Amino acid sequence: MPRKPRIETRSRRSKPYEKLKRNKGFNLMSSNFFGVIPQAMEKEDIGSHSRKWEEMDHDVLVKIFQCFDIFGLTSGIGQVCSKVCSTWRLAACDPLIWKTLDLSMLKSNFIKTPSEPYVYVDGPSDKTLTRVLKISLSLSHGNITTLIFHYNLFVSDDQLTYTAERCPRLKRLVMPAWNRIKKTGICKAICAWKDLESLTMPSISNPPYLIEEIGKNCKNFAELKIMGPCHIFFASTLAAFLPNLKVLSIRCSIIFKDALNIILDDLKKLEVLNISHCVLIDSPPTLPRRVLGELDESILKKAKRLRKFITCMNDSCITCKRTRQDEGLMRWYKYEADFWKVDEVKSLAI
C-alpha cells in the first residue's frame, strides 16, 4: 500500500529548508522550474513520498519564491499562480517576498539629450518596466518597504505615480536616475511616502523643491545618499529643510570644501558622513579648479563630533583613481556591474 502523503500545516511546521530537502519530487535547481509543472501535475503521485504541487507547504513555497529574481517572480510566478491554485497564489503574495522590490538588473534602452526631454527611452523597455511594475505591485499588496532602481532605469512620471500609490509603506528608495521625472511627479510620490526614511538620489541643480517636500512629509527621514556632486546650494538646502538628517553619503563624487563646512556646521544631528573617494575642491570654486590632496585640520576638528566620518583620499586606492579619472562624475557603466551598489555605510549599500 503506498503511504498517504503527509500534508504539513502551518501549526505543525518544521524548518522550511529541511522540508525542501525532503521534497524529492520537486527540482528546485531546474532552470525550467515552471516549465515542468504541467507534466508534474498530470502525475498525481510520482513516488511514495511525493505530493501534489498544490499541496506544497506555504512556507516552503515562500522560500522557493524568495530564490527568484524579479523576472522569475513576474513572468514565472505571476503566470503560473493564476493556473495552479489558491495555495500558490497566497504564497506568491506573502509579504516576505515583497519587502524589497529590486529592479537593479533592469535597464532602459535610452539616448540622453542635453535639453528637454533629457532622455529618450524606447517603447519596448518602457513596456517591460510597466509590465514588471504592474505584476509585482499587484502581488505585493502594498507591502514593499524597499524599492531599488538601476542607475540607467529611467522611470516616467506615470510609472512613478503608479508605483507610489501602490507602495504606501515605502521606507527606502534607491533611484539614482530621474531625468524623465518632473517636479510634480517626484513631489506627488514623496507626499504618498510618509514613512520614507532613506533616499538614494542623483545630484540635482535645484534641490529645494524636493528636499523641502521630504522635510514636510517624511517625519522619520534620516538617511540620504547623493550620487553626484555636492555643491554649496545642495548642502545649504539640506541644512535648511532636513536638520534632523543622521546619515549622509556623497562617495565617489565632487565635493566642495564650503559645502563640507556647511554639512559639518549646520547638520547638527548628523552622526555618519561618508565622503570616501571624493574629489575635494577648494572654495570658492575657481577655474581651473584646485583639487585638495587632504582634509585640513579645521574640517577634521569639526568632524570629531560625528560618530563616523568615513573618508578615503588615497593615491593607491582604485576607487579614488576612478573618481579622478572620471573627473568626479562616475561613469558607472565602465566598471563592474555591481560597483555602483557599494557603500561604506552598510545601510546605504545594496
- Residue 117 carries which side chain, given as an amino acid letter? P
> Does residue 306 belong to the site contacting Zn ion (CB under 5 A)?
no
What single-letter DSSP state applies at residue 324?
H
Question: Of 28-36, 171-179, 191-199, 306-314, which part binds Zn ion (CB under 5 A)?
Answer: 306-314
Q: What is the nearest approach in angstroms of Zn ion to the Cβ of residue 286?
A: 25
Distance CA(327)–CA(321), nearest Å, equals: 10
Query: What is the total count of residues that contact Zn ion (CB under 5 A)?
Result: 5
Question: Of 37-45, 167-175, 293-301, 315-323, which part binds Zn ion (CB under 5 A)?
Answer: 315-323
Q: What is the nearest approach in angstroms of Zn ion to the Cβ of residue 228?
A: 17
Q: How is residue 100 written as a grid cell? A: 524589497
> Does residue 91 belong to the site contacting Zn ion (CB under 5 A)?
no
Using CB under 5 A as the criterion, what x/- string covers residues 96-115 for binding Zn ion? Answer: --------------------
Residues in the chain: 350
Question: Of 44-52, 175-183, 187-195, 304-312, which part binds Zn ion (CB under 5 A)?
Answer: 304-312
Distance CA(234)–CA(96), nearest Å, equals: 37
Q: What is the nearest approach in angstroms of Zn ion to the Cβ of residue 328?
A: 13
Distance CA(258)–CA(238), nearest Å, equals: 14
Distance CA(55)–CA(52), nearest Å, equals: 5
Sheet holding 172-174, edge to edge: 100-103, 146-149, 172-174, 198-202, 223-227, 247-249, 272-274, 308-310
> Does residue 251 belong to the site contacting Zn ion (CB under 5 A)?
no
Contact with Zn ion (CB under 5 A): which of 107, 180, 251, 277?
Answer: 277
| DSSP codes, 27-55 | -TT-TTTTTTHHHHHHSS-SSTT---GGG
Distance CA(310)–CA(344), nearest Å, equals: 8
Listed residue (181, 334, 168) closest to 252, CA to CA: 334
Q: Which is nearer to Zn ion, 235 or 320 (CB)?
A: 320
Question: Of 123-131, 150-158, 255-263, 271-279, which part binds Zn ion (CB under 5 A)?
Answer: 271-279
Helices (H), 25-155: 37-42, 58-66, 70-71, 78-83, 86-92, 123-140
Question: Of 126-134, 265-273, 285-293, 309-317, which part binds Zn ion (CB under 5 A)?
Answer: 309-317
Q: Which is nearer to Zn ion, 94 or 343 (CB)?
A: 343
Q: Which is nearer to Zn ion, 84 or 313 (CB)?
A: 313
Contact with Zn ion (CB under 5 A): which of 260, 320, 330, 345?
Answer: 320
> Does residue 319 belong to the site contacting Zn ion (CB under 5 A)?
yes
What single-letter DSSP state applies at residue 253?
B
Q: What is the nearest approach in angstroms of Zn ion to the Cβ of residue 278?
A: 9
Contact with Zn ion (CB under 5 A): which of 312, 324, 335, 350?
Answer: 312
Q: Which is nearer to Zn ion, 175 or 275 (CB)?
A: 275
Question: Residue with C-alpha cell 540620504?
Answer: 224
Sign of CA dihedral 75, 81, 84, 88: positive
End-to-end Cα separation, the chain, in angstroms: 53
Q: Which is nearer to Zn ion, 191 or 349 (CB)?
A: 349
> Does residue 317 belong to the site contacting Zn ion (CB under 5 A)?
yes
Q: What is the nearest approach in angstroms of Zn ion to the Cβ of residue 226?
A: 17
- Percent of residues in the chain assigned helix, strand, coil, to nearest 5: 40, 15, 45
Q: What is the nearest approach in angstroms of Zn ion to the Cβ of residue 136?
A: 36
Question: Of 30-38, 114-122, 171-179, 307-315, which part binds Zn ion (CB under 5 A)?
Answer: 307-315
Binding site for Zn ion (CB under 5 A): 277, 312, 317, 319-320
